[in-house]
């Protein structure tokens, strides 16, 4: 794994006495599992270092994990740290109230471990391990742990398994490497049934209402043979975008505007990604982020954009659709050329 030796050398440095580990705001199961996994790895490589886990908000799916694992965390801090480790995020604006802490930290004393599209911020720091082909950051971190032959407790293995299950959407995407890793995790004692129960939640009424409102407000557009659904909602953007896919859209786009913040959330089907080759994190959201001075990134089929100002919906829609049309045209021309060359 690229930069892993560099990370291990850094963690073993006895001059590092205090470490902060943080994820994105409203931590989800993958984010908190990754934080716990990194805490374990630091404790093994540098037992004398004190480690704080910093959390700015907890998603509804994460409460059960925190209660199950019973490890302390901080919701605020005024400490200075020798090292800050950022997991499951590499977009500065998604670090919430700890954004200033990260900005004040020397770049050579920051490490990022993530599975989202790499951003300019990640490029600017001392050390980053980013693999957007992984289904979760927990997958990356358990590989780092196993590379040293460390064996986490049954509880931690179960937590890490939960993070993988959650972010892979219950193995919606599965490959040989992940299958082998899961086999090892289960063989070492991870409790699959417990992992499922930790994230098994009935959809709350507020989320169901948000999904229904999103569907009612949606507008449909055809891009070649693809159906694009655009809608607006004030909360549960990711869930609402997924609901549009369940209703039949190939791509679901959610626009949200709050005070001094504009957000865009996108979900697409695997078929759309595999047929077009469009990675919404790299090809769309990252480009829109540069265009509107915001932070954009994510995965091939799930991505988000945050702009620190209020932008009219029409402007964002026009820019998004123009970029999507341009990228689709480029990809289709590439396919035609490949077919001609193949003949």
CATH number at 58 reads 3.90.1640.10
Displacement of CA 117 from its chain's centroid (Å): 9
CA atoms within 13 A on the CB side of 84: 25
Token duo for residue 308: 């620190």
- Find out whether 304 and 263 touch, Cβ atoms under 8 Å: yes
Q: In the chain, where do the E strands start and end?
A: 18-22, 50-54, 83-87, 110-114, 127-130, 219-223, 226-232, 251-258, 261-268, 295-298, 302-307
Judgement on whether residues 215 and 279 belong to the same structural domain of the protein: yes
Answer with the one of 153, 172, 199 that is the final residue of a domain. Answer: 199
- One pLDDT digit (tens) per residue for the chain, 343 residues: 788 899 999 999 999 999 999 999 889 999 999 999 999 999 999 999 999 999 998 987 798 999 999 999 999 999 999 999 999 998 888 898 999 999 999 999 999 999 988 888 888 888 999 998 888 999 999 999 999 999 999 999 999 999 999 888 777 767 888 899 999 999 999 999 999 999 887 778 888 999 999 999 999 999 888 999 999 999 889 889 999 999 999 999 999 988 889 999 999 998 998 899 899 988 999 999 999 999 888 888 889 999 999 999 999 999 999 999 999 888 766 644 444 345 4
Judgement on whether residues 222 and 181 belong to the same structural domain of the protein: no
Give how many domains the chain has, as a whole number: 2
Q: Which residues of 155-181 are buried (b: 16+ CB within 10 A; e: fewer)?
A: bbbbbbbbbbbbbbeeeebeeeebeeb
Q: Could you tell me how many residues make up the chain?
A: 343
For residue 302, CA distances in Å to 147, 231, 254, 273, 323 come to 29, 16, 12, 10, 17
Judgement on whether residues 223 and 158 belong to the same structural domain of the protein: no
Measured between alpha carbons, how far is 58 from 118 in angstroms, rounded to an integer?
Answer: 24
- Find out whether 301 and 267 touch, Cβ atoms under 8 Å: yes
For the entire predicted model, the pTM comes to 0.75
Judgement on whether residues 128 and 37 belong to the same structural domain of the protein: yes
What is the edge-to-edge ordering of all strands in the sheet holding 261-268?
219-223, 226-232, 251-258, 261-268, 302-307, 295-298
How confident is the model at residue 337, as a pLDDT? 43
Judgement on whether residues 215 and 173 belong to the same structural domain of the protein: no
Judgement on whether residues 157 and 295 belong to the same structural domain of the protein: no
Judgement on whether residues 214 and 177 belong to the same structural domain of the protein: no
- Find out whether 244 and 232 touch, Cβ atoms under 8 Å: no
Measured between alpha carbons, how far is 205 from 202 in angstroms, rounded to an integer?
Answer: 9
Query: Is the sign of the CA dihedral 60, 241, 269, 283 positive or negative?
Result: negative
Q: Could you tell me the residue range of the domain that residue 276 belongs to?
A: 206-342
Which among 143, 33, 133 is positioned nearest to 88, based on CA atoms?
33
Judgement on whether residues 259 and 142 belong to the same structural domain of the protein: no
Judgement on whether residues 151 and 260 belong to the same structural domain of the protein: no
How confident is the model at residue 283, as a pLDDT? 92
Q: What backbone phi and psi angles, to 5 degrees, belong to 313? A: -55, -40
Q: In 13-72, where do the E strands start and end?
A: 18-22, 50-54
Judgement on whether residues 233 and 154 belong to the same structural domain of the protein: no
Answer with the one of 147, 169, 199 that is the final residue of a domain. Answer: 199
Judgement on whether residues 181 and 229 belong to the same structural domain of the protein: no
- Find out whether 132 and 5 touch, Cβ atoms under 8 Å: no
Judgement on whether residues 183 and 253 belong to the same structural domain of the protein: no
């Amino acid at each position: 794994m690229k930069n892993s030796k560099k990370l291990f050398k850094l963690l073993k440095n006895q001059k590092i006495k205090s470490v902060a580990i943080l994820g994105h705001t409203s931590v989800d199961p993958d984010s908190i599992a990754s934080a716990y996994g990194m805490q374990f790895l630091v404790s093994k490589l540098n037992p004398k270092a004190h480690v704080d886990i910093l959390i700015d908000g907890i998603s509804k799916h994460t409460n059960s994990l925190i209660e199950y694992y019973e490890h302390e965390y901080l919701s605020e801090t005024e400490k200075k740290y020798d090292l800050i480790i950022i997991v499951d995020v590499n977009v500065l604006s998604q670090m919430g109230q700890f954004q200033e802490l990260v900005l004040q930290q020397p770049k050579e004393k920051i490490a990022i471990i993530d599975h989202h599209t790499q951003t300019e911020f990640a490029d600017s720091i001392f050390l980053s391990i980013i693999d957007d082909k992984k289904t979760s950051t927990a997958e990356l971190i358990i590989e780092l742990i196993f590379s040293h032959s460390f064996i986490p407790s049954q509880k931690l293995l179960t937590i890490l398994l939960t993070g993988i299950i959650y972010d892979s959407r219950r193995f919606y995407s599965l490959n040989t490497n992940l299958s082998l890793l899961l086999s090892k995790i289960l063989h070492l004692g991870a409790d699959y049934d417990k992992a499922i129960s930790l994230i098994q939640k009935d959809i709350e009424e507020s989320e169901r209402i948000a999904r229904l409102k999103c569907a009612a407000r949606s507008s449909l557009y055809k891009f070649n043979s693809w159906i694009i659904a655009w809608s607006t909602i004030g909360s549960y953007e990711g869930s609402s975008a997924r609901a549009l896919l369940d209703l039949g859209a190939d791509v679901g786009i959610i626009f949200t505007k709050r005070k001094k913040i504009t957000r865009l959330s996108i979900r697409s089907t695997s078929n759309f990604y595999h047929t077009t080759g469009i990675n919404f994190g790299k090809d769309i959201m990252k480009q829109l982020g540069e265009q509107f001075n915001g932070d954009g990134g994510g995965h091939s089929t799930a991505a988000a954009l945050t702009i620190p100002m209020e932008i009219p919906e029409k402007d964002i829609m026009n820019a998004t659709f123009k970029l999507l049309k341009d990228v689709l045209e480029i990809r289709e021309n590439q396919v035609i050329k490949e077919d001609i060359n193949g003949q």
